[in-house]
Structure 1
Amino acid sequence: MKKCELCDSLAKMYCESDQAILCWDCDSRVHGANFLVAKHLRTLLCHLCQSPTPWNGSGTKLGPTVSVCENCVDQNDSREEMNYEETHDDDVDDGEEEGSEDDDDGDSGDDEENQVVPLSSTAPPVSSSSTSEECSAGFATRR
């Protein structure tokens, strides 16, 4: 595993401008020093293999974020596909026998837990910084 070049903690990102791999704390200290170094573009390292990921950002303090490189995503997709095929190959013949006994169109007693809530037809009021004259224009006054 790659270590932070300043404190030997686990490295989380790479700064190309500084050519340094850093942990979250050291990155915050280095790139919070002034506005020029805060503009450095940093690349997050994969939390599995510590290779660079497509994620990048800049600023004085980047919050802890988890990202995965494309190779690890591809490997995980391949594993999931293989596991899916292995677990579902045996169930092909058994599925018809088990499902044919009750004809309830696939509905189960889980409807109580899954409720659909419609969106409100009226939008919530928009808060803005406007003058009181503009705000009162839409209201009728009592006399």
Structure 2
Amino acid sequence: MKIQCNACEVAEAKVLCCADEAALCWACDQNIHAANKLASKHQRVPLSSSSSPMPKCDICQVYGRYCL
């Protein structure tokens, strides 16, 4: 199942921003996180990569879970 970008709601999400709790496509990720210095420091995890472990969800504290 593909996750839709939370910003544009059109493209497939490619990264999960932990600070914003948002799944974003590459274009929206670039636009949002280039906005200012603080946003550029947000931890983002590729959604399609099995090599990098997903962080704990800020809400439920379960690894790899995506709660919004």
Return the TM-score normalized by structure 1: 0.33
Higher relative contact order (CA 8 A, sep 6+): 2
Aligned ranges 1:54-133 → 2 under 5 Å: 54=52
Query: Which residue number in structure 2 is paired with residue 16 of structure 1?
Result: 18
Confirm or deny: 8 A CA contact 1:13 1:42 kept in the other structure: yes
Query: Which residue number in structure 2 is paired with residue 134 of structure 1?
Result: none
Unaligned runs of 5+ in 1: 57-143
Distance 1:40 1:53 in 2: 20
Query: Which residue number in structure 1 is paired with residue 60 of structure 2?
Result: none
Return the TM-score normalized by structure 2: 0.68
CA RMSD of aligned residues (A): 2.1
Confirm or deny: 8 A CA contact 1:13 1:43 kept in the other structure: yes
Runs of 4+ displaced beyond 4 Å: none
Unaligned runs of 5+ in 2: 55-68
- Determine which structure has the larger helix proportion and give its number: 1
**Is 1:5 paired with 2:3?**
no
Secondary structure of 1:54's match?
coil
Distance 2:29 2:39 in 1: 10
- From the CA coordinates, give the structure whose radius of gyration is larger: 1
Query: Which residue number in structure 1 is paired with residue 63 of structure 2?
Result: none
- Aligned pair count reads 52
- Could you tell me the percent identity over the aligned residues? 38
The structure-2 alpha-carbon separation of the partners of 1:36 and 1:12, relative to structure 1 and needing over 3 Å to count, comes to same
